[in-house]
Amino acid sequence: MRYSVHISGSSIIRSIRSRGISQLWIILVFVSGIALSPRSAICKTVDSSGNSGSESQETVQTAVLAGGCFWGVDAVFKHVKGVKSVVSGYSGGTRSTAHYEMVSTGTTGQAESVKVTFDPAKISYHQLLRIFFFVAHDPTELNHQGPDWGTQYRSVIFYANAEQHHAALQFIKKLSSDNAFSAPIVTQVVPLHGFYPAEDYHQDFLERHPDNPYIVVNDLPKLDHLRKQFPALYVR
């Protein structure tokens, strides 16, 4: 929704003449308030994908990935060059079940996921997959990651289009043929039917709670791994 305000000089003059000079101060305060307000507060456009209207959707792409608890996966991609934003959420189920308490039962079909918005001119989808497989999670663990167990912690690539589908399948095929991991890759590759942002207290969790014992043991090492294994793509 776009908001705009237009006040012509003639309308101000007419107002002064009809209401008297005592009204001038009110009008001047009103006009000054508009002029001094942040531009975003006066005119802001947000599309359904959550991207700001000031940035063309053609310049960014999104990837939705699931690899265990979204706290750590979210944190990893927030330190990757070319990534514009990361949102923790749920994919694989319906909107009505996209609530942490329900997802935690492991019966909703949802997987804890992250939506990564990135600039393909700075980082490719293929590079994001490499970080996903080699840093963000272990693609050989079926329905769990580390201490977390349940289908909500499964490894999934939710592809948004045919290009992502092909890229994901070819990437996994190459890793498997190269025996990149000591166990078979169990990552699912399925179409994206919806992404539902998680509750506010889950967003930016590592940044807000770096001393949380779970974060210290399971997720901070991932950031160190990212910095060492992909130094050219790491940003603070």
Q: What is the pLDDT of residues 178-216, one digit of tens each?
A: 999 999 999 999 999 999 999 999 999 999 999 999 999
- Residue 69 bears catalytic tag: yes
- Tell whether 74 and 37 lie within a shared domain: no
Tokens 């749920």 belong to: 90
Those residues of the chain that have pLDDT short of 70 are 1-58
Beta strands (DSSP E) in the chain are: 61-67, 83-91, 111-118, 144-145, 148-149, 155-159, 188-191, 195-197
Contact 89, 195 (CB under 8 A): yes
Task: Specify if 48 maps to a domain.
Answer: no
User: Per-residue pLDDT tens for 56-70?
Assistant: 456 999 999 999 999
Q: Are residues 32 and 132 in the same domain?
A: no
Going by the DSSP 8-state scheme, the letter that residue 211 receives in this structure is T
The reply to whether 37 and 135 lie within a common domain is: no
pLDDT of residue 52: 39
pLDDT at 34: 29
Give yes or no: residues 32 and 135 share one domain: no
Rounded to whole angstroms, how far apart are CA atoms 6 and 47? 24
| Residue ranges making up the domain that contains 29 | 9-42
**187 in any annotated domain:** yes
Which residue out of 60, 69, 83, 157 is catalytically annotated?
69
Is residue 82 assigned to a domain? yes
Q: Are 42 and 51 contacting, i.e. CB atoms less than 8 angstroms apart?
A: no
Domain tally, the chain: 2
Q: Is the pTM of this model over 0.85?
A: no
Clarify whether residues 168 and 93 are in a common domain.
yes
To the nearest 10 degrees (0 to 180), the angle between helices 220-229 and 70-78 is 40
Residue with tokens 């359904």: 48
Residue 159 lies inside a defined structural domain of this protein: yes
- 107: in domain: yes
Please check whether residue 234 lies inside any domain of the structure: no
How far apart are the C-alpha atoms of 7 and 18, rounded to whole Å? 16
Longest Cα separation, the chain = 84
The span from the CA of 82 to the CA of 222, in Å, is 18
Say if residues 123 and 230 touch (Cβ distance below 8 Å). Answer: no
Cα gap 226→72, rounded to integer Å: 12
